[in-house]
Amino acid sequence: MFGVMLSVGTYPCLNLCFALAEEQDHLLQHQPDQPENPKVLKVAIIGAPNAGKSTLSNQLLGRKVFPVSKKVHTTRCKAQGVVIHEDTQLIILDTPGLTSPLKAKRHKLNESMLKDPWESMKHADIVLVLVDVSDHWTRNCLSQEVLKCLFQFPQIPSVLVLNKVDLVKKKFILLELITELTEGVVNGKKLKVGSDMKHDSHSSAKTPPQIAQASPPENRAHETHRLQETDKVQEGCSLDSSSDMESSLVTEEVQGPKPCEYRDLKNMKGWPCFREIFMLAALSGEEVDTLKRYLLMQAKPGPWEFHSGVLTNQSPQEICDNIIREKILEYLPLEVPYSVHQVTEVWEEGPSGELLIMQNLVVPRKSHMEILCPYCTSPSAKTRRCSASTGKSLL
Ligand SMILES: Nc1nc2c(ncn2[C@@H]2O[C@H](COP(=O)(O)OP(=O)(O)OP(=O)(O)O)[C@@H](O)[C@H]2O)c(=O)[nH]1
């Protein structure tokens, strides 16, 4: 075993988390406070690795709670974040990227990375399916894992969220993607993409599209309640009137069997049962508020599950591990082995509440150590306080 010691100095986000650690334990263990007419909604966020699930979760929460990095599989297990707005509590279920058992085996991923998205679905009232529209390889179809998940839980209302629209120059492509990812059906209605829009090159240079909704959220409370109560789809997908794609998507009632009853998974590219479509850029927060307002309106009367003082169900240790892993993934040039084991060596609170945390990163192979600390085996290692022979290095 080789160990790499990594020191983390003061971290503003950590300060607050840990200053409140004891209080958080107390809040998690006791009955949550309740407003007069509490409402609640559990929102699962699923999608392929790197689609931006944790970035979106953090934006919805208004705080950095979940780890984010440009490398895949940053999220290793499910975690919950809590949003409170007036009498409504949204519980955000962030999940690891959906992956196949074969890939999980090949990359030696934890079992939680395979199981947790499914576990979160079991508890969800609504599911957001995130698609990275900047990824040319994956954006045209939902992965088999995502489709399997949706098929397994067809009763959970699903919402398609096209993320990273800031990276798409030709905005008309988004309309084509919507058609493919929904199999041309949204909310029980067929989509028709206007031919004027489909090849309108003028739209390519314009600003990112607005959120895809039939009417402004504030007018929709009644409509969405009706939709949930009767399961009778009335609304279609159109685009916001301020969008450069206005009127390009029109809808028409679907005849015949319900599209959700189709079972030929292998031949499916999209999911014809999405209730809504949103287009946003989670990184900049663009249009995230519109999605948040929509979610708040979907909440149903019911007791809050968390005390209003709780931001996440993660323990301080989990938050610390996540932040350190996030930094390793973000700053090291190579893929980081999944088998890295984090062991906390020092955990000290300073006089003004700041924390000094040191972790040993324990890896099973020397080659892994070189990935984590490229200087460890270089001739100048000693000057960097690294020593492969002792098995400990200070980054
Ligand atoms: N340009 C751009 N980048 C984004 C956006 N949303 C997320 N990203 C970036 O995409 C990368 C992956 O984001 P994450 O939030 O870690 O993705 P994830 O789906 O949680 O990833 P996994 O943990 O692998 O499942 C990060 O580098 C983010 O900064 C966006 O709207 N625009």
| CB 94, CB 79: distance < 8 Å | yes
Residue of 45, 46, 55 to test ligand 1 pocket, by largest number of atoms within 8 Å of CB = 55
- pLDDT value at residue 387: 34
Local confidence band at 391 (pLDDT 50, 70, 90 cut-offs) = very low
Q: Which of 305, 217, 292 is nearest to 40 (CA)?
A: 305
- pLDDT value at residue 119: 87
> Which is higher by pLDDT, 325 or 109?
325
Decide whether any atom of ligand 1 lies within 6 Å of the 368 Cβ: no
Distance in Å, CA 74 to ligand 1 centroid: 9
List pLDDT tens digits, range 252-271: 666 544 555 556 777 888 99
Alpha helices in the chain (DSSP H): 12-19, 21-29, 53-61, 101-106, 111-123, 144-152, 172-181, 195-198, 221-230, 288-298, 316-331, 366-372
Residue of 57, 174, 283 to test ligand 1 pocket, by largest number of atoms within 8 Å of CB = 283
CB-CB neighbours of 325 under 10 Å: 21
Distance in Å, CA 171 to ligand 1 centroid: 20
Average pLDDT over residues 311-319: 89
Query: Is the confidence at residue 228, as pLDDT, over 50?
Result: no
Surface-to-core class of residue 50, CB atoms within 10 Å of its CB (0-12 exposed, 13-18 middle, 19+ buried): buried
Topology (CATH) of 31-301:
Rossmann fold (3.40.50)
Which tokens sit at 173?
């492509």
List pLDDT tens digits, range 28-79: 777 888 999 999 999 999 999 999 999 999 999 999 999 998 888 777 778 8
- pLDDT value at residue 66: 92
Domain ranges of the chain: 31-301, 316-393
- pLDDT value at residue 260: 54
Range with the largest mean pLDDT of 64-78, 157-171, 180-194, 378-392: 157-171
2-8 and 126-132 strand pairing:
unpaired
Distance in Å, CA 69 to ligand 1 centroid: 7
Decide whether any atom of ligand 1 lies within 6 Å of the 283 Cβ: yes
Residue of 45, 46, 50 to test ligand 1 pocket, by largest number of atoms within 8 Å of CB = 50
Distance in Å, CA 50 to ligand 1 centroid: 5
- Closest-lying ligand 1 atom to the alpha carbon of residue 74: 23
> Which is higher by pLDDT, 302 or 22?
302
Distance in Å, CA 47 to ligand 1 centroid: 11
- Closest-lying ligand 1 atom to the alpha carbon of residue 97: 25
> Atom 7 of ligand 1 has which residue's CA nearest to it?
52
Average pLDDT over residues 100-118: 78
Distance in Å, CA 70 to ligand 1 centroid: 6
Give percent of the chain with pLDDT exceeding 70. 71
Decide whether any atom of ligand 1 lies within 6 Å of the 49 Cβ: yes
ipTM exceeding the 0.95 mark: yes
Residue of 65, 68, 139 to test ligand 1 pocket, by largest number of atoms within 8 Å of CB = 68
List pLDDT tens digits, range 316-335: 888 888 988 888 888 887 77
Q: Which residues face 90 on adjacent strands?
A: 41, 83
Amino acid at 321: D
- pLDDT value at residue 21: 65
Decide whether any atom of ligand 1 lies within 6 Å of the 322 Cβ: no
List pLDDT tens digits, range 266-304: 788 899 999 999 999 999 999 999 999 999 999 999 999
- Closest-lying ligand 1 atom to the alpha carbon of residue 55: 15
Virtual torsion, Cα 129, 135, 136, 141, nearest 10 deg? -10
> Which is higher by pLDDT, 190 or 227?
190
Average pLDDT over residues 242-256: 52
Least confident of 93-97, 136-140, 243-247, 298-302: 243-247
Report how far residue 296's alpha carbon sits from residue 290's, in angstroms, rounded to the nearest whole number.
10
- Closest-lying ligand 1 atom to the alpha carbon of residue 70: 27
Decide whether any atom of ligand 1 lies within 6 Å of the 355 Cβ: no
> Which is higher by pLDDT, 362 or 168?
168
Query: Is the confidence at residue 368, as pLDDT, over 70?
Result: yes
